[in-house]
Chains A and B, each alone.
Chain A
C-alpha cells in the first residue's frame, strides 16, 4: 500500500496555501500600491553649450527630493524625477512634456527650460491641465501678462522685471555718487538681451535722469570674439557699461575687455556675473565689477543657504547656480503643498500653491511666497555688490527693497495694460 498522498491533494494544498497567502498578503499588496512613486517630469537642457542649466537644476532637485523621500515622502510615496534632454530645442521640450504626461503618466512637471522652451511647455500644460512649475524662465511676460495665466502653471524663478528694478535702483545710486552720466550697453542680440536691457535702462533713468545711453552694441548669442564690440565701447568712452551677457559669453567678454583696459576707464554693471559657474571661469576677475546676485552661498548670509551650498558641493564637487536655488525652491514648494493637501489632486495642489509662503534660505527675509495674483515667486533675495578676485567673489552686497520692487512692478504692469 502506498503511503504517498494523491497528487490532487498536493495541488489543493498548494492552491489553498496560495489563496491564503494572497488573502493574508493583501494588505501588503495594497500598501505597495499606496507607495507608488509620485512621478514628476523634468524637461530641460542636458547637452550643448548651456548644459549646466539642466545639470545644476537636476542636481538641486535631487538633493531636495532625496530629503523628502528620506523623511517618508507623501505618506510613504516617494517622488521620482524623470529628467530628459530637450537639447534646447523648444519643439523638443514641448514633445517631451507631452510624452511625459501621456506615456510616463507624470503627475506634475518641473519645467527647467529657459524661456524659449518654457513658453512652448506653457502651451502644452495649458491644454493638459498638468500642474507645472516653471523653474528657469525669467521673461516677465510668462506670468505678468494675464493672457498667459491659467490655474495650473506657476513660476518659481527670478523675474526680469524684478532684477531690472533692483539693478536700476542700485545703478542709479552708484551713478549719482560717482557722477556716471555716459553709459553704453552690450547685451546678447535676442529677446532676453533686448528686453532686459530696455527694462534696466528704463528703471535706471527713472531713478536718475542724468544717466544718458550714448551707445549700444549687440553681439550674437554665443559669439566667439567680442573684439569689434569692445573697440566700439572703447570709442564711445562711456563712464559705465551695462551688460546682461551670461555664462561663457560674459566670461569671454570680460577677459577680452580686460586686456583692452576697458575697465580702467569704465565701470561694468553685469547683472549675471555673480554665479559660481561664471565667477570661477574668469581667470582674471576684475575688482569692482557691479553684479546682481545670481547665486551666492553667502547671500543671503544664513546657515540654510550655506548648508545647501555645502551639501551640493559635497555631492557634485561644484557649487550651485542660480538655476539650482530656483529648482530647490520649486521642490520645497510642491512637497509642502502635497503634504498639506495629503494627496496629489491637481486642483487641490494648485489651490494650495496659490499664495503659499514657505520658509526658505533663499528668501530676502527668510521666506518666499508664491504670489496668488500672478502665480509667480516673490520675496526671494535680490542684491547687488562688487566683485573681488577671490572667494567670496562679491563684497558690499546691497539688498534690494521688495516694497519698492512691488510698487514699481505694479506701475510697470499698469503701463503695459496688465495691471
Chain B
C-alpha cells in the first residue's frame, strides 16, 4: 500500500486531473460494454456470457474497415453495426431458443459462441495480435489542465461514449420503443397481449446490446491490442459492473462503471498491487450492504 502517495496525489491538482480523466474514460468504455450486458439481462433474462466476444468482434470489424478507408468514423460504425448484426444472427438462430432456460444451458451455448468466434477470428485475421494505432487526425499533444495530462484522444473517446450514454438513456426513458422495452422487461405477456411483437422487441434489444459492445471494441481498438480472446477480461469487469450496478439497471451500470474506472485510476497510485482485488472488494461490499446493487430493484 502506498497511501502516502495517494494522499499526495489527491492534494495535487495535476494528479487529480490526470487520474480523473483517465478513470472517467476507462469507466465510460466499460459502461458501453456493461450497459449492453445489463440491458440484455434486464429485458431478455439472458446472462450473455458471449458479450465479451461481441466486444472483440467490434474491434476486429473496426480494424477491417479502418484498413481500406483510413476513417475512424467508418471504423466505429462498422464495429458497431457488425457486432449488432452478428448479435442479431446469434439471437435469432441460437439464443432465442434458450430464453428462460437454466443458466447452465445459457453458459454452455454462450461458451460455444465464444469458441466459435475465437476460431473464426484466428482463421480470418490470424492468431497474432493486431494494432490499429491512433488515427493521425487524433495525434495531437495532450491537453494540460491544472498541470494534469489529458490525452486528446481520451477526450474524444470520453465525448463519444458520453454521447452514446445520453442517447441510450434518452432512448430508454423518453421514446416509445424505450417504453415498450421497459414494459417487456416487466411483463412481456401483457406487452404481447397489446399486439406488440415481443420477438422483434427482443431481437432489437439484443442487437442494441451487441452494438454497444461492438462500439466499445471499435472505440478502444486504437489504444488496445486486438487479439483473439480479447473479450474475456472485459467480460469479467462487465459482470462486476452489472452486479454492482444492479442487474438490468442502466443507471446503476453507469455509476458502477465510473466507480470502477476511478478505482483503477487512483488505485494505481495508492495500492498498485491490489487494484484488481479492490474491484472485488467493492463488489462484495455492495452485495453485503445492498444485495440488489446500486440501481437494482429491491426484492
- Residues of chain A whose beta carbon lies under 8 Å from any beta carbon of chain B: 47-49, 51-52, 217-218, 222-225, 227-232, 234-235, 247-249, 251-252, 255-256, 258-261, 264, 277, 281-284
Contact = CB atoms under 8 A, between A and B. Distances in A.
A377 B142 CA distance: 46
Contact of A227 (B9, B25, B227, B228): B25
Contacts of B130: 281
B129 A225 contact: no
Nearest to B226: A248
A234 to B, nearest CB: 6
A231 B268 contact: yes
Interface residues of B, number: 46
A235 B127 contact: no
Interface stretch (B71-79, B189-197, B229-237): B229-237
Contact of B229 (A49, A251, A282): A49
Contact of A248 (B129, B154, B267): B129
Contacts of A232: 268-269, 272
Given A218-B273, A261-B141, A228 B268 contact: yes
B275 A224 contact: no
Nearest to A251: B131
Given A252-B225, A259-B151, A259-B153, A228 B265 contact: yes
B128 interface: yes
Nearest to A277: B128
The 6 closest A-B pairs by CB, nearest first: A283-B133, A248-B129, A228-B268, A51-B127, A248-B225, A259-B151
A234 B269 CA distance: 11
Main secondary structure of the interface of A (DSSP, over half): helix
B230 A224 contact: yes
B264 interface: yes
Given A217-B268, A260-B142, A225 B224 contact: yes
Contact of B134 (A231, A251, A284): A284
Given A227-B22, A231-B18, A259-B152, A49 B223 contact: no
A291 to B, nearest CB: 18
B18 A235 contact: yes
Contacts of A218: 272-273
A223 B227 CA distance: 11
Contacts of B141: 261, 264
B242 interface: no
B255 to A, nearest CB: 20
A259 B154 contact: yes
Contacts of B234: 224
Nearest to A235: B15
A193 B220 CA distance: 26
B151 A49 contact: no
9 contacts: A49-B128, A49-B227, A49-B229, A218-B272, A227-B22, A228-B26, A230-B22, A231-B268, A258-B134
A261 B149 contact: yes
Contact of B224 (A217, A235, A252): A252
B222 interface: yes
Interface of B: 5, 9, 15, 18-19, 22, 25-26, 122, 126-134, 138-139, 141-142, 149, 151-154, 220, 222-225, 227-230, 233-234, 264-265, 267-269, 272-273, 275
A74 to B, nearest CB: 34
A231 B127 contact: no
Nearest to A233: B268
A260 B25 CA distance: 13
B267 A256 contact: no
Contacts of B268: 217, 228-229, 231-232
A247 B129 CA distance: 8
A47 B127 contact: yes
Contacts of B149: 231, 234, 260-261
Contacts of A48: 127, 228-229
Given A223-B233, A261-B151, 5 more contacts: A47-B122, A224-B234, A251-B131, A255-B222, A283-B134
Contacts of B275: 228
B223 A228 contact: no
B264 A228 contact: yes
Contacts of B224: 224-225, 252
Contact of A224 (B131, B134, B225): B225
Contacts of B9: 235
Contact of A231 (B22, B122, B131, B133): B22
B235 to A, nearest CB: 11
Given A228-B275, A284-B139, A256 B223 contact: yes
A218 B225 CA distance: 18
B97 to A, nearest CB: 31
Contacts of B229: 48-49
A264 B268 CA distance: 22
A247 B131 CA distance: 11
A73 B68 CA distance: 47
A333 B154 CA distance: 51
Contacts of A249: 225
A283 B224 CA distance: 12
A52 B128 contact: yes
A215 to B, nearest CB: 9
A48 to B, nearest CB: 6
Nearest to A281: B131
A51 B153 CA distance: 31
B127 A217 contact: no
A282 B230 CA distance: 19
Nearest to B21: A231
Contact of A260 (B122, B129, B131, B151): B151
Nearest to B275: A228
A281 B132 CA distance: 9
B233 A228 contact: no
Given A217-B268, A227-B25, A260-B142, A255 B131 contact: yes
Nearest to A230: B22
